[in-house]
A and B are shown apart, each in its own frame.
Chain A
Amino acid sequence: MLPTELRASLAEQIASVDHPRELLVDVMFAVQDHYGYLSDQAVEEVADLLGMTPLEVEELATFYTFVYRHRVGKYVIHVCDSVICWMDGHESLVEHLERKLEIKMGETTPDGLFTLLPVCCIGYCDRAPAILINKKVYGPLTPEKIDEILAKLQGEA
């Protein structure tokens, strides 16, 4: 269940717009921030808040890369999967991440710290190859830099 406060503040925002549907993405992100991902229960709660059917929420939730319908790690690493990054060493970057974290693309480390996901071009071609960890961009990357970043995040966790 969503905390009453969050629910009330979302309901207030929704009440202030003409078409509740237009807030769907914002509400999904807010609820996702609370749960860490958008669970089935969360989808149903979002639907309820907006007066939509769970299907209508699911249609959008599953369309967007940054809405997670499965449990994800504390740090979600989105590896840019587009042309410029491909030219600048994307493949070895993915290999390195997979080897280092001992998971495949789309998986989460057993300690629940890292999730590895691909993402369409994030617009940081000038910093290719680039990745996005919890909305922060890193690049251009080398194996060493990645090790550094991972170590830092592990230390912070």
Chain B
Amino acid sequence: MKLTIDHLGKQYGRHFWGLRDFDLELGPGVIGLLGPNGAGKSTLMRMLATITRPTEGFIQWNGVDIAGSPNTLRAVLGYLPQDFGVYPNLSAVEFLEYMAAIKGIGARAARRRIDELLQVVNLADAAKRPLGGYSGGMKQRVGIAQALLNDPQLLIVDEPTVGLDPEERVRFRNLLSDLAGERIIILSTHIVSDVEATATEIVVINKGRKIQQAAPEQLLKLLEGQVWQWIVPSPDLPALKQTHIVSSTLRRSEGLLVRVVSESAPAAAAQAVVPNLEDVYLHLVSQNGVGQ
């Protein structure tokens, strides 16, 4: 099971490239795709999901070019788009039965699978109600269920936790971890904690280009000894932001507890702390310039 992306590019209009010179080789596991808004994540997802064709380069699924034969991949693909709709007059069961039919899953197998998935996404109680009355989070969970209907070998989820409440977010992260095994899961998000919890490999993307690909542990090593924490008076924060990457601030009675990425100690009181992925992500993106 191998997904190969080679010199992939997508051009919009005459002058704008949403993605350019993108190379990636993926095997089973959860791949977290991180990047700021407009970095090109959704463009990449849509090309991988055969929704749009690359302007240049190619994508191969087990050696087969998916631009030439998209159905090879579609048969084993589960896709949750960032922005999608449902048919409001169908219930969740009926919608999933419809999706199962157009994915070519037999009626009996589909029925069993749908029951399981509705339990998994915590919609069993609301399964018979029209989707038009669902909240945004519930629709998102229907989307997750449809993506898993065909037991996909390649599961692409684009900003899947948008609209989910904290409990459902945790549930979804756990689900992704449980499903990882003999399948490739691509999780695209700009929420670092989602990736931190599940990804076995992280790809950071900015301005339509890949700027880093590594295991989370390797990424964390990049900033060992470069993350600092200390308390500053609140009025000093704007000046600090001008000179350093501030990855977080917490209010304390003495002032603000700031967390800064810097090669050397930025202040006498600064203490080195263990880096987290948020620090790494901000560092990588800021080195590469802000999003488009």
Question: Do A and B interact?
Answer: no
**Interface set of B (CB-CB < 8 Å, partner A):** none
A interface residues with partner B (beta carbon < 8 Å): none
